[in-house]
Amino acid sequence: MPDEVIQWLEPTLGQTFVDGTLGGGGHTRLLAEKVGSDGLVIGFDRDPDAIARAEVHLKGLPVQVAHADFREIPEVLDQLSLPPVDGVVLDLGLSSDQLADAARGFSFDATGDLDLRFDPQMGEPAWELIQRLSEKSLADVIYRYGEERKSRRIAKQIVLRRRTKPIRTSRELAELVRGCVPRSKNHNIDSATRTFQALRIAVNDELTALERTLQRIPPAIAVGGRLAVISFHSLEDRLVKAAFRDDPRYMPLTKKPIRPNESELLRNVRSRSARLRVAERVDASGD
């Protein structure tokens, strides 16, 4: 939702912004072009491949990249001796580059390892997680983070399977899940989607990262600046909605989440679940 992000963040020449989820660099590029040579955009990403690509594709623009979790935005700004910024965007979805990389396991048909980590050097890959967890714990993860009603059936089949041939690839897991979950009435949504979502959230600690960031980021945004968050499932959106509603340092600007328009849906079918919420940073006692 690039047009909507620019519309709500209102970047102008000389301002400073943060893209907390650099990915393919789309939002970073648009912001950098708006702030011009006297401005600055700091792009954060946990994925070292995204950082490497950005350093090439965004060369010549007023952009500085940081290989860091967006939870670390306040610390990185302090290290750069920067005052509170004029706005922040968090696009919580996967990038096209991550989905296209068969070695990362994000695609259901990938024959590489079922990894699912944003930073391959940090934490436990998903194939190890599903090999280690008990059947109950695995079912709980799939239900809690994927809201998958067939979580117990899926967990049982994973445990049965791993006794003889542990699941190692994304394709293997997707095929097993499809055998446990009836085909969706909406044929555009793969039956394995919720399970993959759950495992990805688990190995990257995504919800904790988002919740912690929403708590920590207000002092890093100047009063009058804005935070725009694009979420892709209800678990993320609930956290954003609650923070914007309950934290006195935020003033919600979007009463309901903004959804992609028809032209964007035609360009990018994966945007169908995107929801954009925006809040303004306001002065609050005790800040």
118-132 exposure pattern, b = at least 16 Cβ within 10 A, e = fewer: bbbeebebbbbbbbe
2-91+206-281: in CATH 3.40.50.150: yes
Q: What is the pLDDT of residues 161-190, one digit of tens each?
A: 999 999 999 999 999 999 999 876 666 778
pLDDT of amino acid 262: 78
At 228 the three-state DSSP class reads strand
Beta bridge partners of 66: 44
102-204: in CATH 1.10.150.170: yes
Give every CB contact of residue 7 below 8 A, 6+ residues apart in sequence: none
Cα 38 to Cα 28: distance, rounded to the nearest angstrom: 15
Q: Are 41 and 11 in contact (CB under 8 A)?
A: no
How far, in Å, are 49, 72, 121, 200, 273 from residue 259 at the CA level?
29, 28, 34, 23, 8
Cα 278 to Cα 262: distance, rounded to the nearest angstrom: 21
At 261 the three-state DSSP class reads coil
pTM of the model as a whole? 0.91
Query: Domain extents for the chain?
Result: 2-91+206-281, 102-204
Q: What is the pLDDT of residues 77-131, one digit of tens each?
A: 999 999 999 999 999 977 766 666 666 777 888 888 999 998 888 899 999 999 9
Cα-Cα-Cα-Cα torsion 148, 150, 202, 248, nearest 10 degrees, comes to 30
Give every CB contact of residue 87 below 8 A, 6+ residues apart in sequence: 9, 10, 11, 15, 17, 18, 221, 225, 226, 227, 228
Which of these, 115, 101, 97, lies nearest to 50 by C-alpha position? Answer: 97
Name the amino acid, one letter, at 175: E
How distant is the alpha carbon of residue 8 from its chain centre?
Answer: 19
Q: What is the pLDDT of residues 37-79, one digit of tens each?
A: 999 999 999 989 889 998 899 999 999 999 999 999 999 999 9
Cα 15 to Cα 107: distance, rounded to the nearest angstrom: 37
- Determine how many CB atoms are found less than 10 A away from the CB of residue 100: 11
Q: What is the pLDDT of residues 20-29, one digit of tens each?
A: 999 888 999 9
Cα 48 to Cα 34: distance, rounded to the nearest angstrom: 26
pLDDT of amino acid 97: 67
